[in-house]
């Protein structure tokens, strides 16, 4: 969990203030750099033209699947129609901000599980408190409880499943609802500064700090999920 995680240093605050990405995307990319992805990896919803290729671990052998030719995927097509690879073909599977655009996301997750080798990792990022955005459609928002139960029922190792609630605090989460506006740059920095100050104050009062940190999922922008196939 990002909120109250100990990563809210002044240097980190300044870096985030200068980021050109949304708060959600910025936090996803930070998680991606620490992900357990390795070996032959399929990116569902990715392609050679995506902007996060350089963030992947060096040991990743990248392949991708996308309905859009423009992103230059290895495989052109919808995961709902099946992934044209044999069982256990990939050592890792990833998907960033894609599953909310797939109507039958369970079938997509089951297909990802099928092509993942035993012991392999799946890393996905999904929005939660985030505006509706079509590419071409937007169908789902699920809580952390839904994700835990769904992944366990599919056969992922419950003990090796990590779900990180992506949030910098309640102020930035509220700002993200209407982040595209004429005062974007100013309001973005004020929101970051507000949560930074709030966190420092909460750290001085453990009673309130623990209470807020325990409910971070209530105002998470989204989740970064790492699950291991048993």
Per-residue pLDDT tens digits for 135-186:
789 999 999 999 999 999 999 999 999 999 998 888 999 888 876 677 788 8
Q: Answer yes or no: is pLDDT of 8 > 60.
A: no
Does residue 8 belong to any structural domain of this protein? no
Do the bridges between strand 162-166 and strand 116-127 make them parallel or antiparallel, or are there none, so unpaired? Answer: unpaired
Does residue 82 belong to any structural domain of this protein? yes
pLDDT tens digits for range 55-88: 998 889 999 999 999 999 999 999 999 999 999 9
Does residue 201 belong to any structural domain of this protein? no
Average pLDDT of span 16-39: 92
* pLDDT for position 6: 43
Does residue 177 belong to any structural domain of this protein? no
* pLDDT for position 5: 46
Close Cβ partners of 208 (under 8 Å, ≥ 6 residues apart): 202
State the Cα–Cα distance between residues 150 and 108, nearest whole angstrom.
12
Does residue 126 belong to any structural domain of this protein? yes
Within a 13 Å sphere around the CA of 219, how many CA atoms are in the beta-carbon half?
Answer: 20
47 lies in which domain range? 24-167+216-228
β-sheet bridge partners, residue 66:
76
- For 126, which DSSP code? E
pLDDT tens digits for range 111-138: 999 999 999 999 999 999 988 887 789 9
- Which CATH number belongs to the domain containing residue 105 in this structure? 3.40.50.150
State the Cα–Cα distance between residues 150 and 146, nearest whole angstrom.
6
State the Cα–Cα distance between residues 191 and 197, nearest whole angstrom.
10
Does residue 51 belong to any structural domain of this protein? yes
Q: Are 44 and 65 in contact (CB under 8 A)?
A: yes
Does residue 176 belong to any structural domain of this protein? no
Give the chain's domain count.
1
pLDDT tens digits for range 99-108: 999 999 999 9
| Cis? peptide before 136, omega within 30° of 0 | yes
């Amino acid at each position: 969990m990002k909120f109250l995680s100990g990563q809210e240093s002044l240097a980190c605050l300044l870096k985030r203030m200068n980021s050109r990405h949304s708060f959600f995307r910025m936090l996803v990319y930070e998680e991606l750099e620490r992900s357990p992805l390795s070996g032959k990896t399929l990116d569902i919803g990715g392609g050679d033209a995506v902007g996060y290729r350089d963030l992947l671990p060096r040991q990743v052998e990248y392949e991708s699947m996308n309905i859009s030719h423009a992103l230059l995927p290895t495989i052109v097509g919808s995961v709902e129609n099946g992934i044209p690879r044999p069982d256990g073909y990939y050592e890792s599977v990833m998907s960033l901000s894609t599953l909310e655009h797939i109507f039958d996301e369970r079938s997509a997750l089951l297909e990802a599980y099928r092509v993942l080798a035993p012991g392999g990792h799946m890393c996905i990022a999904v929005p939660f408190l985030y505006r509706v955005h079509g590419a071409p459609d937007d169908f789902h928002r699920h809580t952390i409880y839904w994700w835990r139960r769904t992944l366990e029922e599919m056969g992922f190792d419950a003990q090796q499943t990590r779900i990180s609630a992506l949030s910098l605090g309640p102020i930035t989460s509220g700002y993200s609802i209407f982040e595209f506006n004429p005062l974007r740059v100013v309001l973005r920095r004020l929101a970051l500064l507000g949560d930074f100050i709030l966190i420092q104050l909460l750290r001085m009062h453990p009673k309130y700090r623990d209470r807020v940190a325990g409910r971070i999922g209530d105002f998470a922008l989204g989740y970064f999920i790492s699950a291991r196939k048993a």
